[in-house]
Amino acid sequence: MRGRKGLELRHLVIFAMLGTIQFISKQVLEPLPNVELISTLTMVYTLVYRRKALIPIFLFIFMEGVLHGFSLWWVPYLYLWPLLWGMTMLLPKRLPDWLRIPVYAAVCALFGLAYGSLYAPWQAAAFLNWDWSKVPAWIIAGLPWDAAHAVGNLALGTLIVPLTDLLQELERKMVRNP
pLDDT in tens, 82-91: 999 999 999 9
Give residue 54's identity as a one-letter amino acid code: L
Burial class (CB in 10 A: 0-12, 13-18, 19+), 122: middle
Please, which pLDDT band fits residue 147 given cuts at 50, 70 and 90?
A: very high
For the residues 97-110, what does the mean pLDDT come to?
97
For residues 17 and 23, what is the distance between their CA atoms, to the nearest angstrom? 10
* Domains (range + CATH), the chain: 4-176 (1.10.1760)
pTM for this one? 0.93
Q: Tell whether the model's pLDDT for residue 121 goes beyond 60.
A: yes
Average pLDDT over residues 132-137: 86
Task: State the pLDDT at residue 51.
Answer: 97
What is the pLDDT, as a whole number, of residue 134?
A: 83
